Structure 1
């Protein structure tokens, strides 16, 4: 009886204390050795009677356990030799799995099969994998955008998880772009993700933006916003830019190449330091980045497929505290330093 209770204590205690499996099994084998020694011919008979059982019984149990462990180890090695089937993003026709995945898009008259093909062929760069970038990236991946680039130099912190839903507690400390890569590929293995673990800088911004069809900017500092806008305007790339603070968010499509204003046309003067506090300074309601970030992805899907009316020349302002949304017209500004105006 004592022998059985010993095994129960080892396995139950190991699980309760969170020990690694190899240490639990090592203790179990150690206890079995103790039981075998207790029944050895040269040991006092009273010791064998105390732990219970007999030498042959414990020996057979050990042999059976060893055979089971050997079978399990061999099976794992065989499984490890089998190359996993990895879904790859393929140009052109959709696989049966992809057709099932995107069926709800294909049913929409405004998207359909041709629109879904345009999404698959598209390349979208998202600047920032934080509050706005998180939902935008997830919905771009779910929508089937073929290539998604994400650039961010930060790592996941515990305070991010209140609103940055693409990250998890288990990935605290991981660079945000790699955390986002994990989440997007888990959601849709048929896409290509290009993570850039660095801050966007003047020296390579133009070269990076040139690789993509559309740029989404969800950063929280004006230096990066103006840099992204200037590079997109020079390259003729459309830019979906959004911003949030506390309970309010705004979003627009800046596309001077096709008659709309650029970001600097609408906001020619940077706010004085401290006038527009960041989320870290002023706080932000957790669902608000999700609302505005999802709008960014929605506008991206519309722009890439040609569905509906986008936000080119229009600025949407959402007040979550009072559940009000309004859209105002915006125009190009003559003499704009970024796009030249019109």
Structure 2
């Protein structure tokens, strides 16, 4: 009160004008922010189904979101509102749940398991930019994650200029393969049989039967959104023949490391990796925990002048990736 009185005593009209301008600018700022923020209705269905996990056609009794292993990529912008619904059909045999690491909401109310024939809905605001893990939280959680109930949510920064623009983007989700999906004890004992990127063993290794690759052109900034689903093993992510130009912990542009050879991503965590490949050639992206790499966690980034442009890689089952669609599952024009 005293401040405004002082202004008014010197020049009442000036004081009123200052107050009016201040209120107007505040209102305009609020309108700008609200106009930019969007609301997304995200619906997922728990699907218990067989999926192909290698180029030889081996099938696995998976538990999934929307029939995909990993689940679909969710992409929003910082400040957006997400209305989420999970449906667990009556045809399923198990309870399922959803835990979004990008959300800041009550665990007991929103992340509880729902039985077959039920659904659950909740709302959250994506307050922080970054790359986050989502997964089923129904018990035993270790089994639900191991069998495929996980995925990535990208929260783009509200200001796109806070980091360099990427020329090409890929999503890689690492997870362990346990051959017997009902052997929960093997999961607790960490006796995994393979290591997967995006639900496939050597899925992006062109020298393995049925394997694909990641394409790029020399000089492009390639951005890898990397999530470690676990459920147990750490990943030491490394580009053979290259050095990460930038590593963003949890995908947040504020957490920027430069010139990194390997970076450890723990189970349930994520990081975004930028690399600019200067020369044509093959650059395998691996976990440098070699028991994992040699059991399937190798993705070859092939740089060449003829690389076709591609959208952010959607998560598709192995059998949907064909020679015509490459790794993205989207036909090139």
Per the TM superposition, whether the score is higher than 0.5 is no
The TM-score with structure 1 as length reference comes to 0.25
Which structure: larger Rg? 1
The structure that is helix-richer by fraction is: 1
Q: Which has the higher strand share?
A: 2
